[in-house]
Amino acid sequence: MRKNVLKFLSLLTILALMSTTLAIVMVGCGDKNNDNKNDPTNTNAIVDDLPRGEDGKFDATLLENVQLNLWSVIGLPDQEILLDLVKEFNKQYAGMIEIKVTSVGHYDYYNALDSTYANDYSNFPDVCLMHNEKNIEYALKGYFYPLDELIDKTGIGIDFANAYDNIEKTTIHDGKHYGIPIDAHGYLTQIRQDIIKKNGLGFDGNTRFVPQNYEEYQTLLEGLRALADSGELWVRNINLDQDHSWYQLKNGNPNLDAAAQATVDNFYPVFFHSQESDNLTALYVNGGSLLDANGKVAFQNNEGLKQYITDHVNRFNSKLYGDAGNKEAAFPTGQVVMFSEGPWQVANTYDIWWNNKQLSTAGKLGVTEEDAADPIYANPYTVARPYYMADDSAPAETASKWYGNGHVITVTKKVTSMQKVAAALIFAEWLTQGQDENGNYNLTEWCKAGHLPAWQNVYESDSYQAAAAKSITLTAMGDPADIIALESTRYATTLIAGLTTAVGDIQSQLLSVDGCTVELALEKLLATANSTQEALNLLNLGIK
Amino acid sequence: MAKTIVLEEYAKQRSKRIGLFKKYGITAVFLLPYLAAFITFFVIPLFYGIYISLTNFQYGKPGIETFNSFMWFKMIFDKSYMPGIYNSFWLAFVHTIMFAVIMVPIAILLPLGLAILVNQKPPGFKLFRALIYMPSIVPLTASGTIFTLLFMSKSQHGVLAEFFGIETMWFIDTWFSFNLFGQTVEIAYAWIPIFFMCLWGGWGGNFIILSAGLQNVPKHLYEAADIDGCSTWRKILNVTIPGIKPQLVLCLFTTILGYLGLYGQNYVLSGGGPSIAAIASMPAGGKTSTLMYFIQDLVANNLQFKSSLYGLGAAASLVFALFAGIISGIQMYLTREKKTGTKISEAYNKWHEIR
Amino acid sequence: MARNQITSEQYIGFLKKKDFREKGKFNIGKVVSFAVLLIFCIVWLSPFVIMFFGSLRGYADTMLYPKELFYPHSGYTLENYEMLLLGKLPEGIGQVNSVQDYKIGTWFLNSCFSAIGGTVLYLFVASLAAYAFTFIDFKYRNVLFAGIIASMIIPGAATAVGNQSMVYSMGLNRSLLALIIPGLGGVYGMYLIKTFFESIPKDLIESAKMDGYNNFKIFYKIVLPLGKTVLFVQGLFGFMGGWNDLIWPQMLYGAKDNDLWTLQVGMAYIINNSKSSNLIGSALAGGVICLLPVLIMYIIAQDKIIEGMSSSGIKG
């Protein structure tokens, strides 16, 4: 037995030595080419095969059957609109350009990009329709071309001057554009304006029910809490087929099931803010940034963000904030008056559920004549931008804005033919600046799904304004000039995750048995920021 | 004369050659498919992993890496080099060992108790046996959903909170903490859902093996013990447990290895647990992290780490493999066959018969 | 030897006790164990019950009446299953943030291919190798086998990277073959089969050899039929393992090749999209769908499965 073990061990050692030597040899003669893949700014690999007209300029009508593979990050329901738009484009450019869309969805998109790039390059897409905050991160990995010189070479009329600066800045690195911005949107606050009006907590003499600044928000929260504590807050249930009569918290509503009742114990003025978007709004609105001029993590230094964290603690401890159990269930019952959520549900779901016909039909389910006639009571659900994040320290140029991300179109390094580059740019131009025979922008169609256009001429056009007037989401989101997109950085994922983790950790600590103090919360913010800085150092080591 | 001899020699050698080919040819046909798969999908990847851990391999750009003088290993073993990685790795290590140390004895004793009960052969014991094993066939995603539903907090209408009024925030609160080498280690409540998920889905196997072993204990030993007037407890100690030693060893081996590599349950239930602020952005920076979680965060979960820090993941998995190997080696040595008692008499009898 | 002798009194006392225990209708051991096992099994099986009843609860009920788990407010409904199997969405929910169609049928077939095809192929390959290790004497046989066994210690993580690169460079990832070919090198099954083959009496093989059978014939006509039990058991385990496997198919196809997903990957995707507490019904329904085939197979064949595990435990 021992002899066998010895033999086995010696065999293993020989194998190990052999393979380590092999490894070292492989390391020594490493593959050092692939200019195209490594240097982000390099465009030398593109072969100029543009069909030119008599004047020597590129003539798009001479293109023949150029095929493009586009990967889209858009999920349902917007996906349908995108596919319709692409179909329309393919029709208009039949025989010249054909775009094939693969919908990958935001859950797997970036993972698929990475593993396809590493393992399965022949399936890598030609065009990426992706999120704008990740644009520079992936461009600096060597995935996308810088577009300015390509636009010049093909002469396609994309004029970045028409795009909003604060949105397009997230796609610019070292003065070059790595993507063409399409749209932008941010998290919205859902509001039970009927409860605010009924209790007389509105502004401007109880005629305006959306808080427009920090002080109004604080006043509203405290007002709701005070009335709730005394049990005299008026609420009602607006779910379909539930009893809609007004009742005070201390009395309850005998026609409602126990789980659907709002009581002094389960009522909260607002739920915790979202961990993803609202903290970035708090940071940018107050003039902060994720990284400072030296590239070091700096969000923990911003006074506005610190105030945001402090408010989280103080407001939770005074029961102004509550635990976001099931926001969509609690909101219509009156157990909560406001909550923050992405814009995708607003028009498709919430508006249909909560501004329903039953509320304007008097005589049934406890709806009185007065309720049905009043415009606010008949449409109790409204939605608004988070106007209340800017505190006193906010600089004037950012104080009235908010954070939003959006989508961009990029051209990947897989493309080595100028024809394909041209085709991609033509599609981008068609989508963002193209107009149909009536002068309506194609981008308006896309925006109807609930996105703000990233281009000023589109925003100011009649077709967009008409569409926005009909859409509760677009009306709430307002002017794209107010959107601040993420700063351009190769560490987008890690930085966003760091801030999200900090806020999430603090929210968890507030919910825990020991609770949380302002000091502890700020300590956690600092500790997480340090950890994020260390992660950045690590990533820098690995990046050549 | 010489030619004849040469011919004979030639014939002999030729038949030897053919015999050799036939013998080794056959062996090759039998072994080749299996060995080919084994070498291609185990041996080569293993050595490739060693290779990666010695370089600064970039996931997206294979082939341009250079030797990086054990940088990854320095990160794991040198506290001052990258304190975040050092803390995160060794904390995950402590979590893994602690959980294994607590789980492994329970994972063997509880099924053993159940097996003894079933061995009493109450009515319907076959049904009980089948039912006890049944949860082991449930895939991780399904059992993860069930246990998440059980342990969700009151505001999310988790079953324990709604029906039994247990208000603990399982995935948020910390149970207790203690000091280890100057570092605070916090034990989160989240380990309890993980414990129950491992229990429910993993112990059926141990139960079946131990139960079979129990049935195999020679009856005459029990009778001998009865004659000597042993109480039930002494019987269990001196007859049952030595009798099922091979099964106990098998269970121990698989259970230890299984819990050293704990990952799926943590991932599905707690996502690594409530995060620890000081190492929040590090791989596995949570209170229910394990070694495998650390490795998986580097090579699969976190895309930015996957691109640049793949080598660290490879190095960490080598350290893990080495550690698992040492534990298995120790365990195999401690439980090696010692000839005592009935074994000696049985061996003697056999020898006697042959004689 | 003297101390092992028993007196006649002791022996009679023992016989009396034995008599009493066997004649007694009231065997305390059986009653206690029955009671304890009953209580234990009721608690043990409650997660199954929760999963089953939870999946029959409609979307609206989950939101509005969370306490009514076993008798949902609007009664039992199959709407979760309809949503998953037929794509019919309940009232008032749009498909938010999901992209892939729920191609349950394709996924089911893929899982079958992976589980059944992979198992059959593995049994073939592994039993060939086990035969070689047991019955053919060649140089370094023991060393090679010891090496293969030693590899059991090394966890999968250490080889995952290389495995993935191997599969991609061989182009296997374009087809479903990548699900079954890498698994052919698995050690546990081969070890089990080899241990069983060792218990086949060597004289049988010897006499067959003397009758002029070559190795193939021996394998096919003698060893395989005798090894039916272990092959069946290993086949069952291989099937269950292949069916339940999530990590490997997800790593290969997870991102976008919807057609190549197995049932587990698809369900994981659905469950991930149903993480909010009001979609828990569809998550549970997904769990039931993943589980059902294996559960049915288990109920039918559980005797054999348990016998198989027991015998492997004894010989192992």
- B249 CB neighbour count, 10 Å cutoff: 17
Cβ contact B40–C185 (<8 Å):
yes
pLDDT at A228: 92
What is the DSSP track for B190-245?
THHHHHHHHHHHHHHHHHHHHHHHHHTS-HHHHHHHHHTT--HHHHIIIIIHHHTH
Residue with token string 């599609």: A427
- Residue by residue, what is the 3-state secondary structure of C168-193? HHCCHHHCHHHHCCHHHHCHHHHHHH
How big is the CA angle at A168 (ends A468 and A274), to the nearest 5 degrees? 65
Distance from CA of B295 to the nearest CA of C (A): 8
Tell me which residue of C165, C116, C76 sits closest to C263, measured CA to CA: C116
User: Does residue B2 sit within a domain?
Assistant: no
A54 touches chain B (CB under 8 A): no
d(CA C80, CA C77): 8
Residue B51 lies in a domain: no
Do B156 and A501 count as a contact with CB atoms less than 8 A apart? no
- DSSP, collapsed to helix, strand or coil, labels residue B211 as helix
Q: Go through the domains of chain A in sequence order and give each one's CATH number.
A: 60-185+404-478 (3.40.190.10), 186-267+327-391 (no CATH), 273-322+486-544 (no CATH)
User: CB of B280 within 8 A of CB of A531?
Assistant: yes
Distance from the B20 Cα atom to the nearest Cα atom in chain C, whole angstroms:
11
Whether A1 has its CB under 8 Å from any CB of chain C: the answer is no
Q: Is A347 exposed, middle or buried (0-12, 13-18, 19+ CB in 10 A)?
A: buried
- The domains of chain C, with CATH numbers, are 2-86 (no CATH), 104-315 (1.10.3720.10)
Chain A residues inside the 8 Å CB shell of B174: 512
Inter-CA distances, C210 with B266, C200, C213, C222, Å: 58, 17, 7, 14
B84 and A37 in contact by Cβ < 8 A?
A: no
pLDDT-based confidence at residue C291 (cuts at 50, 70, 90):
confident
pLDDT in tens, B107-120: 888 888 888 888 87
CA B76 to chain centre: 22
What is the C-alpha separation between A76 and A107, in angstroms, rounded?
Answer: 12
* Range with the poorest average pLDDT among A66-70, B151-155, B290-294: B151-155
CB contacts, 8 Å: C185 with chain B:
34, 37-42
Q: What percent of chain C has pLDDT over 70?
A: 75
pLDDT at C166 over 50: yes
User: What pLDDT is recorded for position C186?
Assistant: 79
CA A450 to chain centre: 12
Amino acid, single-letter form, for residue A496: I
- Please compute the mean of the pLDDT values over residues B320-348 and round it to a whole number: 71
Question: Residue C218: how many CA atoms within 13 Å on its side-chain side?
Answer: 24
Strands B183-188 and B174-180, bridge-based pairing: antiparallel
| Smallest Cα distance from C88 to chain B, Å | 22
Tokens coding C153: 């210690």
* CB within 8 Å: A11 and C164: no
**Greater confidence, B147 or C280?**
B147
What is the pLDDT at residue A36?
43
pLDDT for the residue A320: 92
Higher pLDDT, A451 or C94: A451
Closest of C180, C56, C66 to residue C114, by C-alpha: C180
Q: Are C267 and C111 in contact (CB under 8 A)?
A: no
Q: Report residue A224 as tokens.
A: 């709701």
For A321, the enclosing helix (H) or strand (E) is: strand A321-322
Number of domains in chain B: 1
Chain B residues within an 8 Å CB radius of A538: 82, 84-85, 308-309
Instruction: Search chain B and give the residue with CA nearest A496.
Output: B281
pLDDT tier at C284 (50, 70, 90 boundaries)?
confident
d(CA C255, CA C99): 12
User: What is the per-residue pLDDT across C181-205, written as a single tens digit (0 to 9) for each?
Assistant: 887 877 878 887 887 787 777 788 7
For A139-196, give the DSSP string.
HTTT-B---HHHHHHHT----GGGB-HHHHGGGEETTEE-SEE-EEB--EEEEEHHHH
Spatial distance between the Cα atoms of A525 and A528, rounded to a whole number of angstroms = 5
Q: pLDDT at position B299, please?
A: 79
From B10, B3, B236, select the one nearest B113 (Cα to Cα). Answer: B236
Judged by DSSP in three states, A61 sits in: helix
Of B71, B85, B155, Cβ closest to residue A325: B155
Which amino acid, A29? C
Q: What is the mean pLDDT of residues C113-139?
A: 85
Q: Do the strands A407-411 and A180-181 form a parallel or antiparallel pair, or are they unpaired?
A: antiparallel
Contact residues, A window 241-280, toward C, CB-based 8 Å cutoff: 257, 259-260
Test mutation, B141, B200, B217, B259, chain C, max C CBs within 10 A? B141
Q: Is position B21 within any domain?
A: no
Per CB-CB distance under 8 Å, the chain A contacts of B274 are 505, 508
Strand partners, A270: A321, A338
What are the C-alpha distances in Å from B327 to residues A157, A469, B57, B177, B322?
A: 67, 69, 30, 26, 9
> Which residue of C lies nearest to B257 if distances are taken between CA atoms?
C153
What's the pLDDT score for residue A29?
A: 37
Asked if A73 contacts A130 with a C-beta cutoff of 8 angstroms, the reply is: yes
The string of pLDDT tens digits covering residues B118-128 is 887 788 778 88
- pLDDT for res A26: 45
- With cut-offs at 50, 70 and 90, classify the pLDDT of residue B51: confident
Q: Which pLDDT tens digit goes with each residue over A149-181?
A: 899 888 888 899 999 999 999 999 999 999 999
| pLDDT, tens digit, 9 for 90 and up, residues B186-225 | 888 889 999 999 989 888 878 887 887 787 777 777 778 7
User: In angstroms, rounded to a whole number, what is the distance separating the alpha carbons of residues B189 and C76?
Assistant: 34
What pLDDT score was predicted for residue A25? 47
- The residue to which tokens 């939003």 are assigned: A404
Interface contact flag, C157 B114, Cβ < 8 Å: no
Q: Does C100 touch chain A (CB under 8 A)?
A: yes
Query: What is the reported pLDDT for B338?
Result: 58
Burial class (CB in 10 A: 0-12, 13-18, 19+), A453: buried
The answer to whether the CB of A427 falls within 8 A of the CB of A89 is yes
A212 part of contact set with chain C, CB < 8 Å: no
The half-sphere exposure of B121 on its side-chain side, counting CA atoms within 13 A, is: 3
The residue written with tokens 């999963």 in the block is C51
Residue B7 lies in a domain: no
pLDDT at B353: 63
d(CA A497, CA A489): 14
CB A195 within 8 A of CB A235: yes
Interface check for A329 against chain C (CB to CB < 8 A): the answer is yes
SS3 C81: helix
Distance between CA atoms of residues A70 and A135, nearest Å: 15
Give the confidence band of C80 by pLDDT, cuts at 50, 70, 90.
confident
Q: Do B63 and A528 touch (CB under 8 A)?
A: no
Q: How far is CA C191 from CA A349, C117, C186, C196, in A?
A: 57, 20, 9, 9
Q: What are phi and psi of B184, to 5 degrees?
A: -85, 130
Is residue A515 within 8 angstroms of chain B, CB to CB?
no
What distance in Å separates residue C11's CA from the closest CA in chain B?
7
Determine if residue C75 is left, alpha or beta; phi over 0 gives left, psi from -120 to 50 gives alpha, anything else beta: left
pLDDT value of position B130: 84
Across B164-173, average pLDDT: 80
Q: Does B54 fall in a domain? A: no
**What CA–CA distances, in Å, run from C5 to A273, B228, B232, C9?**
82, 10, 22, 12
Cis peptide before B193 (omega within 30 of 0): no
Q: Do B154 and A325 touch (CB under 8 A)?
A: yes
Q: Is C275 an 8 Å CB contact of chain A?
A: no
Sequence-distant (≥ 6) Cβ neighbours of residue A175 within 8 angstroms: none
CATH code at B258?
1.10.3720.10
CA distance to A283, A291, A296, C281, per residue, from A299 (Å): 7, 7, 9, 40
C170 interfacial to chain A (CB closer than 8 Å): no
If one compares A451 and B300, the residue with the highest pLDDT of the two is A451
Provide the pLDDT confidence category of residue C55 given band limits of 50, 70 and 90. confident
Say how many C-beta atoms besides its own lie within 10 A of residue B164's C-beta.
9
Q: Give the pLDDT score at C314.
A: 57
d(CA C223, CA C126): 13
Q: How far is B132 from chain C (nearest CA, A)?
A: 7
Low pLDDT (below 70) residues in chain A: 1-40, 542-544
Contact C246 B122 (CB under 8 A): no
**Beta-strand runs (E) in A351-439:** 381-384, 402-403, 407-411
Partners for C (CB, 8 Å, 3+ pairs)? A, B
Cα separation, C265 vs A421, in Å, equals: 36
CA distance C209 to chain B (A): 13
Tell whether B52 is covered by a domain.
Answer: no
Range of the domain at B242: 83-288+327-346
- Between positions 74 and 93 of A, the ones with CB within 8 A of C are 75-77, 79
Asked if A498 lies within 8 A of B306 by C-beta distance, the reply is no
For residue A404, the model assigns a pLDDT of 92
**Could you report how far apart the first and last alpha carbons of chain A are, in Å?**
51
Domain assignment of residue B298, yes or no? no
B278 and B294 in contact (C-beta within 8 Å)?
Answer: no
Q: Strands of chain B (E only): list them.
A: 174-180, 183-188
The pTM score is 0.83
Residues of C in contact with B123 (CB under 8 A): 30, 34
Question: How close B327 gets to chain A, by Cα (Å)?
Answer: 18
CB interface of C with A, residues 209-248, below 8 Å = none
CB B132, CB B204: distance < 8 Å = yes
Q: Look at residue B72 in the predicted model and tell me its pLDDT.
A: 85
B258 CA to chain A: closest CA distance, Å? 25
Whether residue A26 lies within 8 A of chain B, CB to CB, comes out as yes
User: Please, is A231 exposed, middle or buried when counting C-beta atoms within 10 Å of its C-beta (0-12, 13-18, 19+)?
Assistant: middle
Q: How far apart are CA C227 and CA A418, in angstroms?
A: 65
Cross-chain residue pair C147–A12, CB shorter than 8 Å: yes
- Chain A touched by C17 (CB under 8 Å): no
CA dist., res. A511 & res. A229, Å (int): 20
- The shortest C-alpha distance from A374 to chain B (Å) reads 33
Between A and B, how many residue pairs show a Cβ–Cβ distance under 8 A? 140
Residue A412, strand partner residues: A144
ipTM, two decimals: 0.80
Residue B210, class by beta-carbon neighbours within 10 Å (0-12 exposed, 13-18 middle, 19+ buried)?
buried
Which residue type occupies A124? F
